Structure 1
Amino acid sequence: MYKKKRSITIQDVAQTAGVSVSTVSRVLNGKVDVARETQDRINGVIEELGYTSNLAARSMRSQKKNLIGLIMPDIAYPFAIEVMKGVNRAIAESEFDLLVYTTGDVRKSGRASAEQKYVSLLTHSISDGVIIVAPVVAEFNSDEPIVSIDPVMSNPSYPSVHATNYQGAIDAMEYLFSLGHKHIGYIGGRLELESANRRLLGYQDSLAKAGLPIDQTLIKSGDYTTLSGITCSRQLLEQPNRPTAIFASNDQSAMGVIQVAEEMGLRIPEDLSLIGFDNIPESKYLGLTTVDQFIFEMGYTATQMLIKIINNIPLDDQTYRMQTRLVIRSSCRKIGG
């Protein structure tokens, strides 16, 4: 009589390899936080025993796809890279895998339709939920949960992670005031985003509180790119009464200011003080004083929020506000100092 051979289970692999079932699962899911030696031992046992993991069956049993989607602008942007690092860390600590879609250049006109398309694709057939970075769409038609980072409005219809952009801008301006600066230029970001509007408001309110006029010739509209930082800083620094300091609404814009200042023979900070916003890794090497909005932590926190929602765990709050911190380096100087 034919006797059906017992299938090899993940428990068999764990026992033979001398590790836990969760460690085997992490290796099967491609997690990077398992020691190479342990990975090699587990993979050797898998091959020896002929174990195969039926992911489709597992997904059908649990009614979960064990996949999270990440929709973000072009990954060439430092902000997006740091967000993805945070998301990856949270994914490595979970049972989920990650699928990334990019909507391309932050300035292109078709981003809204691309966001809608990818959200529809991911939430209707592929993933258990989606994280979307700096969306330009206010609402999405989705069957699955969505968490946004730096959304288009302060209180979107879905859970979100924001930095305290307004307070961060005030901290930057008060630091410049403490150094004696009163004639301060500002380079803004993408005005469809809540972050850009809150930073601009912080700049304006700080001037008003200090009893200083809001001079529109000192406010230039950028788009969070180095190129716009170059264009805007040139407009500011070519004025007859150029500013003594510039507050750039992100570090990439500040990098544009550095390029133009060098072209014009202006020294930072001797001739021009400069503050950015983000604290991307490059800012440290440039000696840029900036406002840290803890981008890595934003990605990590958004992923944890989404996983809680997927697992039917209530969130403490629909909106998480990441506290900013002024990081003082060498790009600012006291007037006459």
Structure 2
Amino acid sequence: MRAVTSVAREPATLTDIARAAGVSAPTVSKVLNGRADVAAATRERVEALLLEYGYRRRGLHAAPLLDLVFHELESAWAMEVIRGAEQVAHAEGLSLVLSQSAGRITPGQSWLDGVLARRSAGVLLVLSKLGPAQRAQLAARDIPFAVIDPVGDLDPDVPAVGATNWQGGLAATRHLIELGHRRIGVIAGPEHMLCSRARVDGYRAALETAGLRFDPALVRSGPFHDEAGSECGRQLLRLADRPTAVFAGNDLQALGVYRAARELGLRIPEDLSVVGFDDLPAARWVGPALTTVRQPLTEMAATAARIVLGLAAGRDRVSAATRVELATELIVRSSTAAPCRPGD
């Protein structure tokens, strides 16, 4: 029996793939359609052959859908990302499919099965990543994907869009130093997230450039939620030599610091200056209005959507190795001022 190889002149058929995999043609069809009733080992074997032989199911077109998956779908932060993806999807005549992976960095197989069954035009992953087998399944269906705000290191061929987090941390801390603050606390996000580490690295760089010692006692970390900001804020503000300013990892944490300051009878900015990160709508509404680093979330999502749809259309100017970092910007409002205590 002559085996079909990847250098064969004739395109591989579904029957060819089934024969090479040692399964029936209906089983290959199930894999192609994202059916869940296929053993994992069989699915992986068929997926590998589909990718190796460059199999394309004739007459099968992508559905007018763009999948957007969050590891957590909550807060105004997610709404800014959704807005950017929706703008591009609407302009291209696509509908947006939202899902979340229940806090997991890598979505489960049931989510991927749904994408494959829908035959979406592309996938956007927010603070998430895919395993090699999941990537192979998407590649076998010609479904491109991109990552928004990568949570960790990505393979070189994975397209991604992020922001200049290091520069943002530097600008936030430098602003506080220029106001005269010398004891500046920082609340980081989860330590496994690249964006969180980059913001703290920018904070450290600003201190070192100004000749200030980095003090680990002024560093706290926690989830990007207001509860973490409150708890970390209390810890910092109860120190015997408390900080006169706090740079929070995001706006939600900064709002938590506001709560901690109120509980301890501290006024913002008279007794404590606070800087956030993101520039969510709430940053303008809270009193006093929050000084923050604007992260262009809407533009990040829109850029990632254009990359994915460009890959789906086979445009030459877009490659799977595309990496984009959009600029952050310090937005100065009313939550920061010179320290009022002598010597600070």
Place the TM-score, normalised by the shorter chain, in its bin. Answer: 0.7 to 0.9
Q: How does 1:59-74 map to 2 (within 5 A)?
A: 61=59, 63-74=61-72
Q: Cα gap change, 1:179/1:154 in structure 2, threshold over 3 Å: closer, same or farther?
A: farther
Matched to 2:326, the amino acid is M
- The partner residue of 2:336 within 317, 321, 332 is 332
State the match for 2:323 in structure 1: 319
Distance (whole Å) between structure 1 residues aligned to residue 307 and residue 120 of structure 2: 15
Distance (whole Å) between structure 2 residues aligned to residue 148 and residue 116 of structure 1: 18
State the match for 2:262 in structure 1: 262
Matched to 1:151, the amino acid is P
Q: How does 1:84-123 map to 2 (within 5 A)?
A: 84-104=82-102, 106=103, 111-115=104-108, 117-123=110-116
Q: How does 1:5-154 map to 2 (within 5 A)?
A: 61=59, 63-104=61-102, 106=103, 111-115=104-108, 117-123=110-116, 126-135=119-128, 140-141=134-135, 142-143=138-139, 144-153=143-152
Question: Does structure 1 conserve the Cα–Cα contact (< 8 Å) formed by 2:271 and 2:340?
Answer: no
1:130 counterpart SS class: strand
Distance (whole Å) between structure 2 residues aligned to residue 112 and residue 184 of structure 1: 31
State the match for 1:158 in structure 2: 158
Deviation at 1:74, TM superposition (A): 3.2
Question: Does structure 2 conserve the Cα–Cα contact (< 8 Å) formed by 1:123 and 1:130?
Answer: no
Question: Does structure 1 conserve the Cα–Cα contact (< 8 Å) formed by 2:106 and 2:129?
Answer: no
Q: Cα gap change, 1:267/1:64 in structure 2, threshold over 3 Å: closer, same or farther?
A: same
2:105 counterpart SS class: helix
Distance (whole Å) between structure 2 residues aligned to residue 115 and residue 246 of structure 1: 37
Question: Does structure 2 conserve the Cα–Cα contact (< 8 Å) formed by 1:185 and 1:245?
Answer: yes
Q: CA deviation digits over 1:4-57, x for unaligned, max 9? A: xxxxxxxxxxxxxxxxxxxxxxxxxxxxxxxxxxxxxxxxxxxxxxxxxxxxxx
Deviation at 1:233, TM superposition (A): 0.6
Matched to 1:135, the amino acid is S
Q: Does 1:253 align with 2:246?
A: no
Structure 2: gaps spanning 5 or more residues: 1-56
State the match for 1:11 in structure 2: none
Distance (whole Å) between structure 1 residues aligned to residue 313 and residue 122 of structure 2: 11
Matched to 2:151, the amino acid is V
Query: 307-316 or 114-123: which moved more?
Result: 114-123
TM-score (norm 1): 0.76
Q: How does 1:269-284 map to 2 (within 5 A)?
A: 269-284=269-284
Distance (whole Å) between structure 1 residues aligned to residue 326 and residue 153 of structure 2: 13
Q: State the identity %.
A: 33
Matched to 2:323, the amino acid is T
TM-score (norm 2): 0.75
Question: Does structure 2 conserve the Cα–Cα contact (< 8 Å) formed by 1:73 and 1:80?
Answer: no
Question: Aligned-residue CA RMSD in angstroms?
Answer: 2.1
Query: 113-122 or 93-102: which moved more?
Result: 113-122
Deviation at 1:192, TM superposition (A): 1.9
Matched to 2:128, the amino acid is P
Question: Does structure 1 conserve the Cα–Cα contact (< 8 Å) formed by 2:106 and 2:131?
Answer: no
Deviation at 1:152, TM superposition (A): 2.0
Deviation at 1:120, TM superposition (A): 5.0
State the match for 1:25 in structure 2: none
Matched to 2:334, the amino acid is S
Q: Cα gap change, 1:121/1:153 in structure 2, threshold over 3 Å: closer, same or farther?
A: same
Q: CA deviation digits over 1:48-69, x for unaligned, max 9? A: xxxxxxxxxxx98562222111
Q: CA deviation digits over 1:64-123, x for unaligned, max 9? A: 22211110133322211110011111111002222111123x4xxxx1353554245414
Q: Does 1:236 align with 2:236?
A: yes
Question: Does structure 2 conserve the Cα–Cα contact (< 8 Å) formed by 1:288 and 1:329?
Answer: yes
Question: Does structure 2 conserve the Cα–Cα contact (< 8 Å) formed by 1:155 and 1:319?
Answer: no
Distance (whole Å) between structure 1 residues aligned to residue 322 and residue 154 of structure 2: 9
- The partner residue of 1:296 within 295, 298, 305 is 298
Q: Cα gap change, 1:178/1:303 in structure 2, threshold over 3 Å: closer, same or farther?
A: same
Question: Does structure 2 conserve the Cα–Cα contact (< 8 Å) formed by 1:136 and 1:192?
Answer: no
Distance (whole Å) between structure 2 residues aligned to residue 187 and residue 137 of structure 1: 28
Q: Cα gap change, 1:115/1:208 in structure 2, threshold over 3 Å: closer, same or farther?
A: farther
Q: How does 1:189-200 map to 2 (within 5 A)?
A: 189-200=189-200
State the match for 2:180 in structure 1: 180
Q: CA deviation digits over 1:207-231, x for unaligned, max 9? A: 1222111111100011111111111
Flag as ranges the 4+ runs of structure 1 deviating above 6 A.
none
Q: CA deviation digits over 1:224-277, x for unaligned, max 9? A: 111111111111011111000000010000010001101111000000000000
Question: Does structure 2 conserve the Cα–Cα contact (< 8 Å) formed by 1:208 and 1:214?
Answer: yes
